[in-house]
Amino acid sequence: MKFNFVQSGGFTIDSYQPGEIQVNGKCYQHSIIVTPESCAPWQIERIEELQSEHFSFIAEHTPDILLLGTGVTQQFPPMQHYAELISLGIGVEIMHSAAAARTYNLLLDEGRDVIAAIIV
């Protein structure tokens, strides 16, 4: 699914489909963490692999909102894996990856402090 948004700059998600995500014109076939300033690999392929340490980068950057894209379907990981983020005051929204990609762009365009961790 290709996205058309007017953006205020930074790293934006151009398109998402299962198995591939495009950020600022570059295609990725692996899971990623996208911030307004960067895009980096995320070492997870399935939501069942998720552990607390997968959120260390996010905890260091303390955004207002983390969008967790869980793949093709919305799946809720065990709360203890992301409880530290909540205790730091980071809102965690869990949704399927296509929704997370769309929502990231919308929140970024609003000037929100957002990070998306998306399983491709």
Note the pLDDT tens digit of each residue in 23-68: 999 999 999 999 999 999 999 999 999 999 999 999 999 999 999 9
Note the pLDDT tens digit of each residue in 76-117: 999 999 999 999 999 999 999 999 999 999 999 999 999 999
- 3-class secondary structure, 69: strand
pTM: 0.91
Is 103 in contact with 87 (CB distance < 8 Å)?
A: no
Is 10 in contact with 20 (CB distance < 8 Å)?
A: no
Q: Calculate what percentage of the chain has a pLDDT beyond 70.
A: 92
Q: Does domain 21-118 have CATH number 3.40.1230.10?
A: yes
